[in-house]
Structure 1
Amino acid sequence: MSSATASTINVPLYRLAHSRTGDKGNRSNISVIAWHPALWDVLVDQVTEAAVARQFALRQPRQVTRYLLPQLQAMNIVLDDVLDGGVNDSLNLDSHGKALSYLLLDLPIKVPTALARHLAGPPISVSRTSPTI
């Protein structure tokens, strides 16, 4: 086991960032905004188009595109064809896709223990074993 692996904790994305969701037709836009600038590099490394596509596999997005906004420590994720046709065509209870940000915020992220103090929520006690929060 490498020292990099030993010195990380697993947390859901919501501990690193908050989010908002918007829509246009059958396209959903999900913003991801870091709680602290020190968490930005972790977000860029792990909230990738491939990781988001895996997280939304059940919604079967046709395409996932990520736009980085480094000066804001934020990104915009665009998912095509995930709203069952959009507001006017969908029988889905969440035709605007407002709840999709919660699905993204559940994405598991490995965070270096040195950055744990910047996470939102209760403090994490880090032991010698690999904790999962």
Structure 2
Amino acid sequence: MTFEDPIIRVPLHEVAHGRAGDKGNRLNISVIPYKEVAFAPIAEQLTAERVHDIFRYRGTTRVQRYDLPKLASFNFVIDNVLEGGVNSSLNLDGHGKTLSFRLLAVEVEVPESALHSASPYRRGVQ
């Protein structure tokens, strides 16, 4: 008998965490899956183009995605998203730290086994 891992749709933060940093008007967001099984599905869905669309409203001009398969993680470099950067922006978040949360709110489809160990309890799944 074969049991297939069901595919579920969840916010990215259910299966990964992020870290943000800035350099001038450029933002770096790392996306690190909690479990390696989430790496491939995230890679398929969280493309540079999709991330560019997510931040387009902020004037983003380019997004580059760097895959780090040995670490099972990704690094996104997002140009012109910080409204000039910390020294020239009137934005309350000139460093862009909160923008990682914007990315982590995106929905992705992953195998249920990719859920972080605490996630089933938060979601009421037993």
Question: Which residue does the alignment assign to 2:52?
Answer: 53
Question: Which residue does the alignment assign to 1:116?
Answer: 112
CA deviation after TM superposition for structure 1 residue 34, in Å: 0.8
Distance across 2 between alignment mates of 1:17 and 1:47: 12
Q: Secondary structure at the match of 2:109?
A: strand
* TM-score, structure 1 normalization: 0.82
Q: Secondary structure at the match of 1:77?
A: strand
* TM-score, structure 2 normalization: 0.86
Distance across 1 between alignment mates of 2:73 and 2:84: 27
Question: Which residue does the alignment assign to 1:31?
Answer: 30
Extract unaligned runs of 5+ from structure 2: 1-5
Question: Which residue does the alignment assign to 1:89?
Answer: 88
Extract unaligned runs of 5+ from structure 1: 1-6, 127-133
Distance across 1 between alignment mates of 2:59 and 2:9: 26
Tell me if 1:107 matches 2:106. Answer: yes
Distance across 2 between alignment mates of 1:104 and 1:39: 16
Contact in 1 for aligned 2:14/2:119 (Cα 8 Å): no
- The percent identity for this pair of structures is 45
Q: Secondary structure at the match of 1:10?
A: strand
CA deviation after TM superposition for structure 1 residue 91, in Å: 0.6
Q: Runs of 4 or more off by more than 6 Å in structure 1? A: none
Aligned residues: 117
Over the residues paired in the alignment, what is the CA RMSD in angstroms?
1.5
